Chains A and B, each alone.
Chain A
Amino acid sequence: GAVVSQHPSWVICKSGTSVKIECRSLDFQATTMFWYRQFPKQSLMLMATSNEGSKATYEQGVEKDKFLINHASLTLSTLTVTSAHPEDSSFYICSAGGTTGNEQYFGPGTRLTVT
């Protein structure tokens, strides 16, 4: 149980284009989902927290107009990187809050490369 999927697992896009990443909780409903960014050999950096049906809460320094998050249902959240630039290249990981709300289950991550 507690499986979270992400799609795509790897995407290459050209500078200036937008990319959408999907995060799904497959066998449970997640009221809260989290989006992280991770650079090589570094820890997780929380970007935003989203609750189903409401606007996401972004961490300080994260541009909400650049990283659009939608949490339209209890099993799906999306992250759209708008007008992507090479500096947006990174590993993006989503997670879903468990049924107790006290633990997180992570997706496998999406590697974004912007050329």
Chain B
Amino acid sequence: QKEVEQDPGPLSVPEGAIVSLNCTYSNSAFQYFMWYRQYSRKGPELLMYTYSSGNKEDGRFTAQVDKSSKYISLFIRDSQPSDSATYLCAMSMGNQFYFGTGTSLTVIP
């Protein structure tokens, strides 16, 4: 079983839709949770970073962590074509980092 599981998609939504991206993990020792956005041929960009269960909001983005279920989500409200990218979840404990395989998202104008 992989440490981190992420549905690769692809996911295609109309502009303005609410997008839900999800990851599950198996190791309860993970303490920190991140979401990255990666545009084609670019390095990943850190979007959200949290360490506790619950929700964290930043503009149109909300990161949700449920440690009891070992499940994290990223919600994108009012999605825009510029949100089209690959989204990677990541988790860390100490100096060890684990990345999901990424979900490819396309927002159609």
Contacts and interface: CB of A to CB of B under 8 A. Distances in A.
Nearest to B51: A102
A2 B46 contact: yes
A106 B44 contact: yes
B95 to A, nearest CB: 6
Contact of B32 (A4, A95, A103): A103
Interface of B: 31-32, 34, 36, 41-46, 49, 51, 88, 90, 92, 94-95, 97, 99-102, 104
Contact of A104 (B94, B97, B100): B97
Given A43-B102, A106-B36, A101 B43 contact: no
Contacts, number: 52
B99 A43 contact: yes
A44 B31 contact: no
Complex A-B, nearest 5 residue pairs according to Cβ-Cβ distance, in ascending order: A106-B43, A102-B32, A43-B101, A109-B43, A106-B44
Nearest to B44: A106
Contacts of B95: 32, 49, 97, 101
B105 to A, nearest CB: 14
A109 B99 contact: no
Nearest to B96: A49
A109 B46 contact: no
B49 A103 contact: yes
A91 interface: yes
Given A102-B32, A104-B90, A109-B43, 10 more contacts: A43-B88, A43-B101, A44-B44, A101-B95, A103-B46, A103-B49, A103-B92, A104-B46, A106-B36, A106-B45
21 contacts: A2-B46, A6-B43, A42-B101, A43-B101, A44-B88, A44-B99, A46-B97, A95-B43, A95-B44, A101-B94, A101-B95, A103-B32, A103-B49, A103-B92, A104-B34, A104-B46, A104-B90, A104-B97, A106-B45, A109-B42, A109-B43
